[in-house]
Amino acid sequence: MLTAEMVVDGLVPSSPVVSPDGRRVAYVACAAGKDDQLWVATGEGAPRRLDVPVARVTAPRWAADSESIFFLADERLYRVGREPADWGSGIQTYCLLADPDLVAVAVADEPADPLVRGNPPPARLRVLDLRTGEVRLLAEFGERHVAEVVQRPGGGPLAVLTWASAELGPGRVEPALHLVDPETGAVTDLGATPAEAGTPVWSGGEVMYPARTPPGLQSGPAVFDGTHRNLTEGMTACPVELVQVDDGAPLVVVADGLDTAVCRLDHGRPVEVFRTTGRLTQLSANGGVLAAIVSTADQPSDVHVGPIGGPLHRRSDTRPELRDVTWGVQERLAYRAADGLALDGLLVLPPGRTHADGPFPLVTLVHGGPDDRYADEFMLHWAHWGQWLAHAGYAAFLPNPRGGFGHGHEFAASVAGAVGQEEWTDILTGIDLLVAEGVADPERLGIGGWSHGGFMAAWAVGQTGRFAAAVMGAGISDWGLQVAAGELDAFDAELAGSTGWEGPGPHPHDRRSPISYASAVRTPVLILHGAEDTNVPLAQSEYFHRALRHHGVEHEFVVYPGEGHSIRQRAHQLDVLTRTRAWFTRHLPPTPDLAG
């Protein structure tokens, strides 16, 4: 029997990184409420856990000799392996330089007291001498915030990405790219980049970087060269990661529908090298070897390793306790939207059941973002309830409506200024298809999700009375409030179509806010939110709670102390799972013999 403890207590791998000699892969593994673990896998034998002196491990990177591993913890730089040591404070990111005794670091200025809102202290580019611990300023960018630093392989200039502000929202809107001489600190400005530019990589002497497709913010990702030319223009899939290769053109991880491809930028254009069913993420390359986190429909996330040409094979085994569990069959769906647009998604059935056993109570689970996607991956997580609900006798529908990644720029950009519109009818079309095929019981429909999925659940119950129950996890109820108080104000404003400060309303965002339709809600709603959420502030759920209370709608409002947008504490993750399943069981009970 699958328990909530089995869901949250397993190790989750992340941040794989290949050593320069290609013989080892380091990665981080963590479980809710436990200290992070640092592991090393080699070509043979079981991975080995390293002793680390801290509770949290981020950004592991190998030293040039492939014997030591550096990482960040609590804004300090640590080294394990040969000659363990730690240095500095306030370090936001770092780059190991060709000189093994030097590290480029982005170190934040001391915060002012009182703090001036809208003007947080930026991180500045400095050089740390590992022999002495001395830190010196390398280059000035005015008050711009240093976000990423990468040196050309083999030595030479640094590619430096800066933001206009250290504040997340405006910073990601106005990045810029620079080259810095590591000896003199001389800066060459390469100009502004499109929004949300990511870590640069080198291809010979040329710099490339990932960013949003201009001019919008709610748009598909793309890859650009140092002259800001879009190298992936016209792709019908989405390049979501750009990966440095020690010798040759960079690699690109491409979200392609329900699957993932790895491509090489051949003469500036992506050419597919191999693909994998499901999700491949966090790709690392070195010494002719690749490592990544891979998850498929029936296999949880693990570290996979292989040659640059593929295929990759599993090298970690983080969830052996799940091996004997019988899982619900996960099916790939393909259908057309009302306007003919091709869509995809997933259907998870109760374990041991087929379509012939339907109709089932159906819960639609909407992904976050909206610029995310469901890949054909293992659906077991505190916030991804596919298998968790299937084991309680439900069928779970996981749609990929327009606005997500996986189908190119136009597909992703189509929800700009129209959030909750066509993406909602895309979801309804999928539900209607499953009802017509006898999979879903039209009298036992539920909907839920986290973040953007929580918004869509709140939106859904104000648009229709078809749902018997809904779960709104950290969702937006009012887009004007979100622009005013959320972390990503400009991005949210583009989704909503207005801000509220254009002049007297009503405004376009009012028509796209669930709060405007609260008087029509009749569906029982479970509202879940972290008390310290800065991405989608708690006031969003408080507002919806008060509206439902005013209109006499059955609901429950649960706040998790000390939690942000993502729930981290073990007890709270357990509560999300048990409370969510109990809510659906109460309002759309499964057929008794289908529950696991």
Residue 92 sits in a domain whose CATH number is 2.120.10.30
Do 213 and 362 share a domain, yes or no?
no
For the stretch 409-456, pLDDT in tens is 999 999 999 999 999 999 999 999 999 999 999 999 999 999 999 999
Where a domain ends, among 199, 227, 255?
227
- On whether the CB atoms of residues 210 and 221 are closer than 8 A, the answer is yes
For the stretch 173-193, pLDDT in tens is 999 999 999 999 999 999 999
- Is 149 among the domain residues? yes
H or E element at residue 585: helix 570-587
- Is 418 among the domain residues? yes
DSSP secondary structure string for all residues of 416-465: TT-TTSHHHHHHHHHHHHHHHTTSEEEEEEEEEEETHHHHHHHHHHHH-S
Where a domain ends, among 209, 227, 245?
227
Cα 109 to Cα 16, 96, 158, 249, distances in angstroms: 30, 21, 21, 36
- Is 279 among the domain residues? no
Report which DSSP code applies to 320.
Answer: G
Do 331 and 199 share a domain, yes or no?
no
Mean pLDDT of 141-146: 95
- On whether the CB atoms of residues 134 and 156 are closer than 8 A, the answer is no
Identify which of 191, 194, 199 has the alpha carbon closest to the alpha carbon of residue 151. Answer: 199
Do 185 and 330 share a domain, yes or no?
no
Calpha distance 213→197 (Å, rounded): 10
Q: What is the CATH number of the domain that holds 514?
A: 3.40.50.1820
- Is 20 among the domain residues? no
Strand stretches in 193-268, DSSP E: 201-203, 206-212, 221-225, 238-243, 251-256, 259-266
pLDDT at 360: 97
- With 90 as the cut, is the pLDDT of residue 591 above it? no
pLDDT at 138: 97
- With 80 as the cut, is the pLDDT of residue 593 above it? no
Do 348 and 465 share a domain, yes or no?
yes
Do 486 and 346 share a domain, yes or no?
yes
> 409 phi and psi, to 5 degrees?
-65, -50
Do 423 and 535 share a domain, yes or no?
yes
- Is 48 among the domain residues? no
- Is 485 among the domain residues? yes
What is the chain's mean pLDDT, rounded?
95
Calpha distance 479→536 (Å, rounded): 10
Identify which of 535, 541, 446, 452 has the alpha carbon closest to the alpha carbon of residue 496. Answer: 452
- With 90 as the cut, is the pLDDT of residue 301 above it? yes
For the stretch 360-389, pLDDT in tens is 999 999 999 999 999 999 999 999 999 999
Calpha distance 357→183 (Å, rounded): 70
- Confidence grade of residue 596 (pLDDT, cut at 50, 70, 90): low
- Confidence grade of residue 595 (pLDDT, cut at 50, 70, 90): low
Do 469 and 336 share a domain, yes or no?
yes
Domain limits for position 554: 326-594
Mean pLDDT of 195-213: 95
Do 554 and 414 share a domain, yes or no?
yes
- Is 13 among the domain residues? no
- Is 302 among the domain residues? no
Do 391 and 528 share a domain, yes or no?
yes
Mean pLDDT of 281-310: 96
pLDDT at 292: 98
Do 378 and 514 share a domain, yes or no?
yes
For the stretch 58-114, pLDDT in tens is 999 999 999 999 999 999 999 998 788 889 889 999 999 999 999 999 999 887 777
Do 218 and 338 share a domain, yes or no?
no
- On whether the CB atoms of residues 558 and 527 are closer than 8 A, the answer is yes
Do 390 and 499 share a domain, yes or no?
yes
Calpha distance 22→291 (Å, rounded): 10
- With 60 as the cut, is the pLDDT of residue 246 above it? yes
Would you state the structure tokens that stand for residue 9, as one six-digit string? Answer: 């207590």
Residue 241: beta bridge partners? 253
Where a domain ends, among 227, 246, 261?
227
Domain count, the chain: 2
Question: Positive or negative, the Cα torsion across 551, 555, 561, 565?
Answer: negative
